[in-house]
Amino acid sequence: METKNTFYSQKSKLSMKKIFWFAACCLLATGFTACGDDDDENNGGPGGTGNTLPDVTTDLGIQYPVTSINGDEDAYFQYSNGKLTSGHTDTDINFNISQNPLAINCSYQEAYGSYAMTVNNIRVNNSGFITSANINATEDDNGEIYRVTGTANIQYDGEGHITEKKVEIKDVESTDKYTITYSWNNGNLMRIRIDEQYTEPGYGTENYTEIYEYTYDEDWTKNPNTGIYLYEMWYSTFDFMWYAGLLGKTTRNMPTGMTNIYMEDGVENYRTTYDFTTSYNSDGSVASLTYRSPGSSYYSRRYIYGYGNEYENRTSTMASIKQKNIDKRSPLARMKARMRK
């Protein structure tokens, strides 16, 4: 998939703060319920204060927990007793998920400054999926301090799939509102729609829509999914929160294709179609997912999934990878690249 920078207009891209992008990433990933703790359809009914993580193999039925993802940026996950608790993602961001009570922390430190984000006061439903939380994020960019807060709402269906996520994020200069809807059929993710409304005093309000539609083989026994969360599911999120089971179950099968549609103020700007190819390891786990334009022999995007000790192997190479990326892109450019791939 080619990088798209059209989601924000140029004036918005120039005016938004670094912290806003990072907080949007984190907040969207922490999902909340629109109907609150009284929603009986929220996959298990009312829950309470989050104290522990779901067991990905037992609670989500994941056959092979992913420990690394290599693609646009690399991610490495570490598990403890079946629960994803820490790791590195987006090359240089460290994360940990603490329990009793449940809290999520992300941070990075580099020559340009530092970033810290905490998600706490987390509430979950009976299946352990997040239903509400608070977020506070602070970034030091060469001595300039940026802060952001936000709220969000999320809903699940009775099978434990995320169906809607509403988010409002604010900093001192702007407000961003997202509504992301997920459509499912027979356990498979069929469609993701992102509607965004961005408001900044002096510039007015901008509206954007992005849609991802998936196709599958008619034979549901083909292309089984052994535990992969599709890249588009992560939209404006950190991947590890999905793989930790905090946002519900993943699609049952791997898709065979996808159509990406982008609109501004209701007018379609582009439509791109991809064919998907899923390869498997000898033990049946998903080895890779490749995107290609129809008829092309060259791939547009590829994700390679690892299992086992990839987290430990990451330690020896993390410093050189991080330095390469720091030298290549400014902090703001890097964060925007993470958000819009």
- pLDDT tens, position by position, 88-124: 987 678 999 999 898 999 998 878 788 888 888 888 8
Give the count of alpha carbons within 13 A of 207, CB side only: 6
Average the pLDDT over 18-26 and give the result. Answer: 49
Let me know how long the chain is. Answer: 341
**What CA–CA distance (Å, rounded) separates 206 from 200?**
9
**What CA–CA distance (Å, rounded) separates 265 from 251?**
30
Instruction: Report residue 115: phi and psi, to 5°.
Output: -140, 140
Strands (E), the chain: 48-49, 68-70, 75-80, 83-89, 93-98, 103-110, 113-124, 130-141, 144-156, 162-170, 175-185, 188-200, 204-215, 257-264, 267-280, 286-292, 299-306
Instruction: Among 68-72, 263-267, 315-319, name the one with the lowest average pLDDT.
Output: 315-319
Peptide bond between residue 65 and the one before it cis (omega within 30 degrees of 0)? no
Average the pLDDT over 122-130 and give the result. Answer: 87
Residue 188 has pLDDT above 70, yes or no: yes
Predicted TM-score (pTM) of the model is 0.80
More confident residue, 232 or 19: 232
Residue 35 has pLDDT above 50, yes or no: no
Angle of the 331-339 helix axis to the 18-29 helix axis, nearest 10: 30
- For 10-339, the fitting CATH number among 2.40.160.150, 2.40.70.10, 2.40.480.10, 3.90.1010.20 is 2.40.160.150
More confident residue, 237 or 339: 237
Model confidence band, residue 255 (pLDDT cutoffs 50, 70, 90): very high
Instruction: Among 23-27, 132-136, 212-216, 336-340, name the one with the lowest average pLDDT.
Output: 336-340
SS (H, E, C) 4-57: CCCCCCHHHHHHCCHHHHHHHHHHHHCCCCCCHHHCCCCCCCCCEECCCCCCCC
Residue 244 has pLDDT above 50, yes or no: yes
Residues 280 and 273: beta-carbon distance below 8 Å: no
Coil/strand/helix, residue 338: helix
